[in-house]
Amino acid sequence: MIETHHIEYLKSLVDENGWRENNGEDLSQWLLDSRARIEGKTSLILFPQNTETVSKIMTYCHEHKIVVVPQGGNTSRVGGATPDQSGNSIIICLSRMNQIRMIDKENYSMIAEAGTILQTIQSKAEDSERLFPLSLGAEGSCMIGGNLASNAGGLNVLRYGNTRDLVLGIEAVMPNGEIWNGLRSLRKDNTGYDLKHLLIGSEGTLGIITAASLRLFPLPKERATAFCALSDLDSCLKLLAIARELSGDSVSSFELIPDIALDMACEHVDNTRLPYAEGPAPEWSVLLEISGFTKDQMQTTMESLLETAFEEGIIMDASIAQNDTQRADFWGMREAIVEAQIRESASIKHDIAVPVSSVPTFIRKAGEAVKEICKGIRPYPFGHVGDGNIHYNLSQPKDMDKVAFLEKEDDLHKVVHDVVANLNGSFSAEHGVGQIKTEEMKSYKSAVELALMKKIKQAFDPNNIMNPGKILS
């Protein structure tokens, strides 16, 4: 446990609302991970209000070798922001650092503090007729600092890139307390190693990002959204090619959804219904969105590209959203499929990426592999097929006990990740490594990569106080 005099000193660095202690109060909001599978312990949670205070905290922790877990909205899918069981760490939660410091409309940029909720950033950009395109299920509670720390992906990567691609500069506090002001808002800056890209995606292991300069884009004037029933799995690649080509590369989202997910969503989540005129749910659907800048163009473009896809036998059916309510329903269904799987039964998750062209092969091969070691298993593959990123989730067999199913978790991860590795893919496309994929790092990363990563960690954080046990165990 951390000695009391350290706790008292750290508390003195913040105001009376700036700390919470482990004294019987329910701290699960900060200690339980978003999948409710990992619960950590802490001696103290600090809520600093500015970068200088973060710096003072880190200076003290570095000097006294006190372990720090940085946290934003605590929505990591891999336990990246959850402390370990020892109670020997403090959490620094950035939630009170939530100011938009400036919006530069002409420079298409915004400077936001780490604790700003993603949805707030999206809507502030929109108020200035700009788009901040990062969009994901947790956008109402995740914070931009965490999005950067985990290099979050989401629904618009195909068009706008990952979080990494949306950042012009950062401000960060180093493990020894030094403040690095790298808040430049430049599109071009070729002056040596690009350190911001080391901190982005480092999951709080190299420093604490306190603010970021974000890239903004023109706000699309029109969007068209459609649910498309594919003729077969391979057709997803053909539909993607047609949609990109015939829309002038205006595809912003391209999400794969299997029948099992639509059916479970209709069964378990209120206000969801099949997005087609008639059932049953097709084996494979794609939720396709295109967006552009000329009014009254996107809807027509969508109609004509779907007509071509229909004529070429790529799709069997499609529903185009006719208004904002229908569009919201379509996206509500996309969100509901995640919730539905949790409500149905136990599930085992994967977040893999392969080259887009290998997605159908991956789904088939992974299906064969998991069925070989678990009879009756129900694959539930969905997600960002336009980026080659599939959430290859698995649902408990109907006639199998939950515990028996979860006992197979490691074996199932192994066979799925082996298929991924054979296709030259990644075992973590967008959720990061956190504390649950450190074994995969050892199995699938080369010795050269791992050795370089360890040297970088050592250079930034010689006392190993920044979020230890994450990424590199």
Which residues of this chain interact with ligand MLT, rule CB under 6 A?
A: 77, 137, 338, 349, 383, 391
Comparison of 381 and 469: residue with beta carbon closer to ligand MLT: 381
Comparison of 34 and 42: residue with beta carbon closer to ligand MLT: 34
Residue 351 Cβ, how far from ligand MLT at the closest point, in Å?
7
Comparison of 196 and 413: residue with beta carbon closer to ligand MLT: 413
Comparison of 349 and 437: residue with beta carbon closer to ligand MLT: 349
Comparison of 56 and 349: residue with beta carbon closer to ligand MLT: 349
Residue 75 Cβ, how far from ligand MLT at the closest point, in Å?
8
Taking alpha carbons only, the member of 184, 119, 179, 113 closest to residue 145 is 113
Residue 139 Cβ, how far from ligand MLT at the closest point, in Å?
11
Give dist(CA 425, CA 24) in Å, integer: 45
DSSP 152-204: ---TTHHHH--GGGGEEEEEEE-TTS-EEEE----S---SS--THHHHTTSTT
Comparison of 233 and 340: residue with beta carbon closer to ligand MLT: 340
**What are 312-315's contacts with CB under 8 Å, separation 24+?**
312/238, 312/242, 313/231, 314/230, 314/231, 314/235, 314/238, 314/239, 314/242, 315/228, 315/229, 315/230, 315/231, 315/235, 315/239
Taking each helix axis as running N to C, give the angle between helix 4-12 and helix 51-64, from 0 to 180 degrees, rounded to the nearest 10: 160
Residue 138 Cβ, how far from ligand MLT at the closest point, in Å?
7
Comparison of 99 and 122: residue with beta carbon closer to ligand MLT: 122
Residue 429 Cβ, how far from ligand MLT at the closest point, in Å?
9
Asked if residue 306 lies in contact with residue 315, where contact means CB atoms within 8 angstroms, the answer is yes
Taking alpha carbons only, the member of 177, 151, 187, 276 closest to residue 226 is 276
Residue 150 Cβ, how far from ligand MLT at the closest point, in Å?
11
Torsion, Cα of 59, 62, 65, 68 (10° steps)? 80
Residue 14 Cβ, how far from ligand MLT at the closest point, in Å?
32
Which DSSP category does 227 fall into? E
List the structure tokens of 331.
């996206």
Comparison of 137 and 177: residue with beta carbon closer to ligand MLT: 137
Residue 79 Cβ, how far from ligand MLT at the closest point, in Å?
13
From residue 371, give the alpha-carbon distance in Å to each of 276, 407, 414: 30, 15, 13
